[in-house]
Chains A and B, each alone.
Chain A
Amino acid sequence: GIQVEQSPPDLILQEGANSTLRCNFSDSVNNLQWFHQNPWGQLINLFYIPSGTKQNGRLSATTVATERYSLLYISSSQTTDSGVYFCAVRGNQAGTALIFGKGTTLSVSS
């Protein structure tokens, strides 16, 4: 099945810093999503981005499908950005699950 690797596994930042999270995947996908899991365990949709670039406020994401990677950019980080960021992909076969990476744990201190 598809393999999803995220890096770095852990990231510690001071408030105001910028960061880039990476997601590599091993096969063609028809769905790629970025999620933020907050301290209460909820999975928050950030982006649906199987290809191209999107921006939402301080967050943006780029997926280069031909090279099988996606990047999540966080600018001017805030303490509320802390949590775990997951990349999840779905292969091209109908019915296949979203396959999640192991996540990047982000800690932002003031």
Chain B
Amino acid sequence: EAQVTQNPRYLITVTGKKLTVTCSQNMNHEYMSWYRQDPGLGLRQIYYSMNVEVTDKGDVPEGYKVSRKEKRNFPLILESPSPNQTSLYFCASSFTGSDTQYFGPGTRLTVL
């Protein structure tokens, strides 16, 4: 089944404890991206990647890192999480970015 998977789906952590949210797709998509969703602010792009080893900042990249070492995986790294990073995170992928983007199931992150 064609899909985008994210892990973990739910995470409660404490300020400053490094964490990684994984994202994987099995559709051989070149374009992948991360979004966060916050009440009143909607969905905003954090980072995106046009292909392996090609990443760029989205609208809200502060406090996040990404890497794209393989086509299928695009992990989101929070090196020192803070409470303002409490949010619902989505990973998405598509062939080019201008075609249909498929979203993962979301990761609910709470930083205490």
Contact = CB atoms under 8 A, between A and B. Distances in A.
Interface of A: 30-31, 33, 35, 41-43, 45, 48, 86, 88, 90, 94-98, 100-103
Interface residues of B, number: 24
Nearest to B106: A41
Contacts of A102: 42
A36 B54 CA distance: 30
A103 B78 CA distance: 28
Contacts of A97: 33, 35, 44-45, 48, 58-59
B74 interface: no
Contacts of B106: 41-43
A90 B42 contact: no
Nearest to B33: A97
Given A41-B88, A95-B97, 20 more contacts: A31-B97, A31-B101, A33-B100, A35-B103, A41-B106, A42-B103, A42-B105, A43-B90, A48-B100, A86-B43, A88-B43, A94-B50, A97-B45, A97-B48, A97-B58, A98-B43, A98-B45, A98-B101, A100-B42, A103-B42
